[in-house]
Chains A and B, each alone.
Chain A
Amino acid sequence: MPTVGVEFAKVSYTLAGGRVLLREIPLQLESGTTTALLGRSGSGKTTLLRMVNGLVRPTSGEVRVAGRAVGAEDVVALRRSIGYVIQETGLFPHMTVERNAGMALELAGRSKADIAARVREVLELAGLNFEEFRGRYPWQLSGGQRQRVGLARALATDPTVLLMDEPFGALDPLTRAEMQTMLRDLLERVGKTVVLVTHDLNEALYLAKRVVFLAAGEVVADLPASEVLKSENPHVKDYVYAVHRSVPA
């Protein structure tokens, strides 16, 4: 029986003004697999993702990572055990690639030799040559290279869970495809529980084993990636149609 990596137990989130962003979300994400969260802007995908590492606290319900409630954990220790990648990479502009990639290890008090060895390992894993890139600053990198450094940083602590919020949203289609191929290969090798937020259906189908569709803060479809294109669910059909409609003559 597969183990549960991340669990959302009737999770809701309501803003101070009463606007409901998430309504009683029930999800169990299998350990070691990739799950994509899809939906329109404002459907609650990012809020749901940010609950996993405690950046957002649910107003009701509970999020569990490897069976332990997020609210009951030491939040700093929890965050250090979860990798986080965002669209604009979030690299610190005044730090070199080596320092950016090793920041989580530095904060955890690891020795310089340990950090250098691990940073070398994760940069190579993300497809960057350590010697060539270690001394560069984020502004000296292309969008794809920055994203690789962001990914390396997320993997540096060898987290069990990897959260990815529109990781390739700012890249051109060719670089994006290249990054998706690299990420798919990498995820097959490292075997993490990945939660991927994306607007891109093709990206979700390429990278994820399971796809969850959200609309207005609710789960409207939850199905294996292989069944998305033939699904009769109206929400899924709308999404598929929007992506695969033909170009007018």
Chain B
Amino acid sequence: MMDFLRLNGWEIGRLTFEHLWLTLSAMLLAAAIGLPLGILLTRKQALAKPVIGLANVVQTVPSLALFGLLLPVPWLGENAARLAILALTGYALLPILRNTYAGVGSVDPALIDVANALGMSSMQGRTSIGGERYSGRTANGHRHLCRRGDDCSGNWRGRSGRADLSWSRERR
């Protein structure tokens, strides 16, 4: 074990950092899209079903199949990190979007009323009160992304994360 770590320690550190960097980038991107979109959907109810439905569809596509679909796309397919980040973002979007929508949308109307009466805007009220709920629910999205992140960086990139380490070991 110690011999393995001495031989591969630097490599493990580098790959761990790469894995975390990919996952964190995708998580931030998914949150940047999912949070405002989820809040917007609480205001535009008619859009909620098709938008969440689309995110659901992305979620059901297997990672290898999505990789195959995105690989020929110009600029995107040229860089494995870009591909992984985009795929992970797609996978993280549904839980973040759905839970933000559910959390913010399920705020008791009486609380919104009081928030308005205190001088908050309707959106301020929803986000402030819904904050408690959606922070917990959105954390599910982030956990989900971390699980998928491992899957993706290994399966998709082939030469990244744990897969890369296995490959290096075989090479030796």
Contact = CB atoms under 8 A, between A and B. Distances in A.
Nearest to B135: A94
B119 A94 contact: no
B113 interface: yes
B119 A90 contact: no
Contacts of B111: 90, 92
B119 A76 contact: yes
Nearest to A104: B118
Nearest to A84: B117
A239 B131 CA distance: 44
Nearest to A77: B119
Interface in A89-108: 90, 92-94, 103-104, 107-108
B113 A104 contact: no
Interface string B120-134: 100000001101100
A55 interface: yes
Interface residues of B, number: 14
Interface residue SS majority, chain B: helix
Interface in A3-29: none
Nearest to B120: A107
B116 A90 contact: no
Interface in A76-90: 76-77, 79-80, 82, 84, 86, 88, 90
Contact of B110 (A82, A88, A107, A163): A88
B54 interface: no
B114 A86 contact: yes
B131 A79 contact: no
Nearest to B121: A76
Interface of B: 110-111, 113-120, 128-129, 131-132
**10 residue pairs, one from A and one from B, having the closest CB atoms:** A90-B114, A94-B132, A84-B117, A80-B119, A76-B119, A79-B119, A104-B118, A107-B119, A90-B110, A79-B117
Interface of A: 53, 55, 76-77, 79-80, 82, 84, 86, 88, 90, 92-94, 103-104, 107-108, 153, 163
18 contacts: A53-B117, A55-B113, A55-B116, A76-B119, A77-B119, A79-B117, A79-B118, A80-B119, A84-B117, A86-B110, A86-B113, A88-B110, A90-B110, A92-B128, A93-B132, A104-B118, A104-B119, A108-B119
